[in-house]
Amino acid sequence: MRPPEIAVAVAAAAAAVLALAAALSEKAEAAPSPAALRLERALPPKGMPVEHLRERDRARHGGRGLLGGSPAVAGVVDFPVEGSANPFMVGLYFTRVKLGNPPKEYFVQIDTGSDILWVACSPCAGCPASSGLNIQLEFFNPDTSSTSSRIPCSDDRCTAALQTGEALCQTSDSPSSPCGYTFMYGDGSGTSGYYVSDTMYFDTVMGNEQTTNSSASIVFGCSNSQSGDLTKTDRAIDGIFGFGQHQLSVVSQLNSLGVSPKVFSHCLKGSDNGGGILVLGEIVEPGLVYTPLVPSQPHYNLNMEGIAVNGQKLPIDSSLFTTSKTQGTIVDSGTTLAYLADGAYDLFVNAIIAAVSPSVRTLVSKGNQCFATSSSVDLSFPTVTLYFMGGVAMTVKPENYLLQQASIDNNVLWCIGWQRNQGQEITILGDLVLKDKIFVYDLANMRMGWTDYDCSTSVNVTATSGKNQYVNAGQFDVNASPRRGAASYGGLIPTAVAVVAVELIFGAFSRR
């Protein structure tokens, strides 16, 4: 029981609080409501030797900013993807995007090593009219789309792209001149054109697992000229779907428009049939480890610190892997093989030779270090470990550094698929290394994660909103129709994650 004087004081204080609350309530009712702001808005044919693979991989390795903000994500977006897993066949994976009004469907290569979505336009000089991939090619025509508009040089988006080299405007051009671009690739191919804004359509799965037709206005390239390998019909497609980290990429644009979070993940299935998962969202599985992405880089660069073979660290100076204009380690799903810095290559190959089983016969075939064995590669060859900043490691199994070339009697001929990056100190981890692993590109937190995984099974996916919501990829097809080898989706569908079902394969030959 309180003393009388304390009880009186408490009562007085309570009365004062009630009076203050009443005054604040009257003031809030009297104040006008704030004004509402209205917002408007490829790989070679079968049998082609490894040296040709290397030629095609010499490509994409060569500040951007337009859209900002991260609104709440609308739902799950599904992009069905097709392709072939065999690196000696097609060697690229592609998806279909619907653009324009009325919408047309275009086949575009998914490429994490570039940023721009571009499609062939009408007219187009050098663009193939047919494809050996058994797909019907289309040409985008901005004049026949009621929602299309050309991006002029005066547009802020063009101005930002000019600063990053993704746009071209001459000083003599008028402000109304079209915002152009020219992309040249290391294999000698190239494309040029101009930017347009138009509608992209997708199927969105909401939190109640109901599928709705959704759309967003995005900026993409309209290619009116192609050269080099892009003109060939054997693996011709309608364009390239840039999946890079900069703000003209589809990833950044859809994030800015509230369609997807600023994180995506993939799991490349390593079998000949390909398959796998690509999600606009964060795969959440046990065993994932993360290392920082190197900031302000045009590609997905990591700080690699060392390499070990069978647990024995190679005597490589760690400064060889320091990121600079001429050094560094790049993760690129658009590169088929893997390329090791020139200064580290001989040490790596010699360590593999020294560690193979005594029953394995070593030989050199067409300049490549090869091995003949009748035993399992997991039993005959060592495990390689890559070490990255933060004390995290990446396990590289024999299937992740070897390529099966042929059969000799009862033996299988395996060759080292990692190539020497001749005269360069840049290491590129392509699909040979990335397959059979989950990779998470967390752009919001500038980090990358991975873990070994059976990519034919389902995964849990969440968004970066911090909500404990997941989609279990592998149980429920968002299109409610079968797709050849494509992953399906089920479980609790979050309202803050976009998922792309992928019939992924060994990335494409590297272009940039």
Catalytic residue list: 111, 332
CA–CA dist 216, 480 (Å, integer): 23
Burial class of 307 by CB neighbour count within 10 A (0 to 12, 13 to 18, 19+) = buried
Going 118 to 122 to 123 to 127, the CA torsion angle's sign is positive
CA–CA dist 381, 416 (Å, integer): 11
Return the SS3 of 171: coil
Neighbour tally for 297: CB within 10 Å: 14
Q: List, in sequence order, every residue forming a beta bridge with 98; answer none if it has no partner.
A: 105, 201
CA–CA dist 80, 97 (Å, integer): 9
Q: What is the 3-state secondary structure of 275-339?
A: CEEEEECEECCCCCEEEEECCCCCCEEECEEEEEECCEECCCCHHHHCCCCCEEEEECCCCCCEE
Go through 358-393 and write b for each residue having 16 or more CB atoms within 10 A of its CB, e for each that does not: eebeeeeeeebbbbbbeeebeebbbbbbbbbeeebb
Element containing residue 10 per DSSP (H, E): helix 4-30
Length of the chain equals 512
Which amino acid is located at 6 in the chain? I
Tell me how far CA of residue 355 lies from CA of 228, 345, 401, in angstroms.
42, 16, 14
Q: Of 288, 312, 299, which is closest to residue 393 (Cα–Cα)?
A: 288
Return the SS3 of 57: helix
